[in-house]
Amino acid sequence: MTKKESVALLLATGFNIGRLSGAPGTLGSVEGVLLACLVHQLSAPWLTIAVISVILGAVFVAGQAARALREKDPSIIVVDEIAGMVVCLSLFPCSLVYAVSCFALFRLFDIWKPWPVHSLEKLPGGWGIVMDDVMAGVMAGAAVQAGVLLSHAW
């Protein structure tokens, strides 16, 4: 394995957290919560740039790692869950209530894979690995926002 592939694999596995248990996606999602709280400290324009950078970086390293492992979407790659959680939580203040709500709904949509989440897995390379999780993050964020709006309506 080349040095470039090793670095991509280290990043794609969330610094090897994807190798730790039978639930790598859950652990990757926890890492995503932590990263989201870090980037959430940025002002709105920089937050937007950070979220886009996380997505594009995830696509790149996930694609590189999958090629190095010679698998389409290896379960040890968790950078997709990290990106999905960053997308979801970028819409809300960093608090325990939002983190738990987004985490639970993101994991539900990531595992269940309703349309259009499932259809995005068919994209080539790193795009297919990451964009289904980004969509799961968008859907989870929309569901949490709907819950917030409904709670204020009562």
Half-sphere exposure of 104 (CA within 13 A, CB side): 7
pLDDT of residue 152: 86
In the structure, how many helices (H) and strands (E) does the chain have? Answer: 7, 0
pLDDT of residue 154: 77
> How do the pLDDT tens digits run along the chain, 154 residues long?
899 999 999 999 999 999 997 899 999 999 999 999 999 999 999 999 999 999 999 999 999 999 999 999 999 999 999 999 999 999 899 999 999 999 999 999 999 999 999 999 999 999 999 999 999 999 999 999 999 999 988 7
pLDDT of residue 153: 81
The residue extents of the domains of the chain are: 3-153
Q: Report the predicted TM-score, pTM, of the whole model to 2 decimal places.
A: 0.96
**Which tokens go with 91?**
């819409």
Contact 66, 129 (CB under 8 A): yes
Distance CA 74, CA 89 (A): 25
Contact 61, 126 (CB under 8 A): yes
Give the E-state strand segments of the chain in sequence order. Answer: none
